[in-house]
Amino acid sequence: MNAKIIGTGWQLPAYEADNDYLATIVETSDEWIRERTGIGKRHLVREETTTSLAAGAAKKALENSGLRAEEIDLVMVATITSDTDTPSTACRVQGELGALNAVAFDINAACAGFLYGLHIADAFIRSGIYRNVLLIGAETLSKLLDWTDRSTCVLFGDGAGAAVLTASEKGGLIARTVGSNGGKWEVLSCMGRPNQNPVCKSSASAGYLRMDGQEVFKFAVKTVPACIEKTLQDAKLSAEEITYYLLHQANKRIIQSVAKRLKQSEEKFPMNIEQCANTSAASLPILLAQMNEQGRLHPGDKLVLSGFGAGLTWGACILEW
C-alpha cells in the first residue's frame, strides 16, 4: 500500500507585513529583499498561535479529504515553534479536532520537517500499522527572530499547511530520500531556554535564530538537486516526466538555481515566497494546498517535493497525485 494525499488545507495569520513596513524597523529596503530573496511580504501572528494555525489548516484538510476526525490513526505536526515545550502541538491539535483514536507527536526537522513527516507517514502506512494520517507543518517563526537583525528577520513568516494521507493501492508516494548532517548544526540554529538549576547557574539568555546565510545557500543549491536526482533515479523517472517541482520556499534564487541544474523550465517550479516568505516546515504544505485549491493538480501528475534546513536536514519525495 502506498501513502496517498487525499486532502489538503492551509491557513495564514490575518496580519500582513510588507517589505516597506520592515524597512521602518531595520535598515533594509523592498528592493534588497526582493532582489536577494524574492520575498514581498510575510504574514505575522497577532492573536494566532502555532496550535491555532495548525488546527485551522488541519480542519480544512480533513474536510477536503472527506474523512472524519475519528478516522485518523496518526497526527503529526512538523514544527520548531511549538507553543508549549510539552505537550506537543500534535496532541493539542488532536484534542481540538477530536481525533481521539489517533496517536499524536511532533517532528523537529526545521524546514525539512514536512518531508520527514511524509517519510514517517509512508513507513507507517506501507507497514500496515496505520491507515489514515494527518500531517501538518505549522510555524510561528516570528517568535524566534531577533527583530533587530536584518539578516534574518526579513526572511521568515508564520503559517500552516496540512495534508491527509491514506493507504492506496495506486499512486501516492513512490520514492523518497531524507538526510541529516548534525556536524553542521551551528550553521543554522536557535538555542533553547538556558538551564537555571541551582548547580548549573547558566548565564546564557534565551536564543534567537542565527544563520550563516551563505553557508546555507551553498548547502541548498548543492544538496537539493543531488537529492532530487537520486529520488528520480530510485523512481526510474526522468526530470522531464515531473509535472511540478515544489521546493521549500526559502529563496527564489535557490529555486531558480535548482531549476537550472535540473535543466527544467522555471514554470515547473511554483512559488508563493513573494506572499508568504519562508514559513519553515509549513512552506511545502501551504504551497501544495494552495495549488490543490487552485485546481492545478490532476490525477496522474507526478510531483517532486523537496525541503532543506536546520540540522542540517534535507529530503525529497515523488508523489503521484
Residues 248, 251, 276, 317: which is the catalytic one?
248
Q: Which is closer to ligand UT7, CB of 40 or CB of 213?
A: 213
What is the DSSP code (8-state) at residue 273? H
> What does the DSSP assignment read for 28-59?
--HHHHHHHH---EEEE-SS--HHHHHHHHHH
The residue type found at 271 is M
Task: In angstroms, give the least distance from the CB of 196 to ligand UT7.
Answer: 30
Least distance (Å) from ligand UT7 to the CB of residue 228?
16
Catalytic residue among 111, 153, 227, 317: 111
Site residues, ligand UT7 (CB under 6 A): 28, 32-33, 36-37, 111, 150-151, 154, 213-214, 216-217, 220, 250-251, 254, 278, 280, 309
How far apart are alpha carbons 235 and 317 in whole angstroms?
Answer: 10
Catalytic site residue from 19, 272, 278, 292: 278
Q: For ligand UT7, give the closer residue by CB, 1 or 26.
A: 26
Q: Which one, 161 or 172, has the nearer CB to ligand UT7? A: 161
3-class secondary structure per residue, 204-271: CCCCCCEECHHHHHHHHHHHHHHHHHHHHHHHCCCHHHCCEEEECCCCHHHHHHHHHHCCCCHHHCCC
Residues in the chain: 321
Provide DSSP, 108-163.
--GGGHHHHHHHHHHHHHHHTS-SEEEEEEEEEGGGGS-TT-HHHHTTB-EEEEEE
Whether 278 is catalytic is yes
Cβ closest to ligand UT7, residue 150 vs residue 302: 150
19 is catalytic: no
Q: With respect to ligand UT7, which residue has the nearer C-beta, 97 or 144?
A: 144
Taking the complex as a whole, the smallest distance from the CB of residue 75 to ligand UT7 amounts, in Å, to: 24
Which residues, other chains included, contact 213 with Cβ-Cβ below 8 Å and sequence gap of 6+? 151
Active site residue 200: no
Show the cell assigned to 254: 535557490
- In angstroms, give the least distance from the CB of 223 to ligand UT7: 11
Residue nearest to ligand UT7 (CB): 213
- Smallest gap, in angstroms, from Cβ of residue 264 to ligand UT7? 20
* Residues carrying an active site annotation: 111, 248, 278
